[in-house]
A = this chain, B = another copy of it.
Amino acid sequence: MRHPASPPPATSLSPTPDLRRRRKDARPAELAAAALRLFVDKGYTATRLDDVAAAAGVSKGTLYLYYPGKEALFRAVIEEGMVAALSLAEHEVAAFRGSTADLLHALLIGWWERIGGTPLAGVTKLIISESRNFPEVAQYYREQVLDRGRALVRATIARGIAEGEFRPLDVDAAVDIVIAPLLLLAVSRFSLPLATGSIAPEAYLETHFELLVNGLKRS
């Protein structure tokens, strides 16, 4: 604890209060979160910046204090959050001890908890809808999210084959079969129920896992 006799240095040069500072620091993320919600719901072009501002509780002009324009806001929305979630998953896979089936199960559950069941899942719909209009952003997403996610699943399946737990098969194709239902589940949350005619996401994932493993497992 600081000695009571020493007053805090009166820095007259930095009178900016903490409250304002904290607000300013949090703004970009708040704005991006509001934008994500609306972009995912209505699409990029159909979303008005007026609405984004209103959803974030600021005026239209304030948006431009933090992002130079609508497209920059879009980039921020795509390039945020997802990458952090992936890094976490990569560490977990590296540290996992147990059967490959359990690892695969952990991957599915982890995906749901940190991506599929969160607002981040909307990014999937957004990137599907807008990739043609933003090729560089799509490129970034592909390299930093899709390819890394696919590598994670590929390593897991390869591990299962190497250890004799899974039968030999076309690993790349299997990766797609693992991933496809996840992506559809994510997209379904923000559009039509393309997947999961009626069942809950958790049950859906369990069935997916069960089918997968019984298909992959050496009979």
Contact = CB atoms under 8 A, between A and B. Distances in A.
A146 B198 contact: no
Given A132-B42, A173-B203, A207-B173, A127 B192 contact: yes
A216 B177 CA distance: 14
A70 interface: no
A105 interface: no
A10 B10 contact: no
22 contacts: A42-B133, A43-B44, A43-B45, A45-B46, A46-B133, A127-B191, A128-B128, A128-B192, A129-B129, A131-B192, A138-B191, A169-B207, A170-B199, A173-B204, A173-B211, A174-B207, A174-B211, A176-B181, A180-B183, A183-B194, A184-B184, A214-B219
Interface string A175-219: 111011101100100111111111100011001101110111001
A148 to B, nearest CB: 12
Copies in the assembly, this chain: 4
- Of A10, A41, A170, A174, chain B has the most CB atoms within 10 Å of the CB of A170
Interface string A128-160: 111111000010011000100010000000000
A130 B125 CA distance: 10
A6 interface: no
Interface of A is mostly: helix
A195 B176 CA distance: 5
Contacts of A125: 128-129
Given A176-B197, A211-B216, A215-B215, 9 more contacts: A12-B13, A43-B130, A132-B191, A170-B199, A173-B208, A176-B184, A177-B181, A179-B195, A214-B215
Contacts of A141: 192
A3 to B, nearest CB: 20
B181 A197 contact: no
Given A146-B192, A198-B172, A177 B43 contact: no
A219 to B, nearest CB: 4
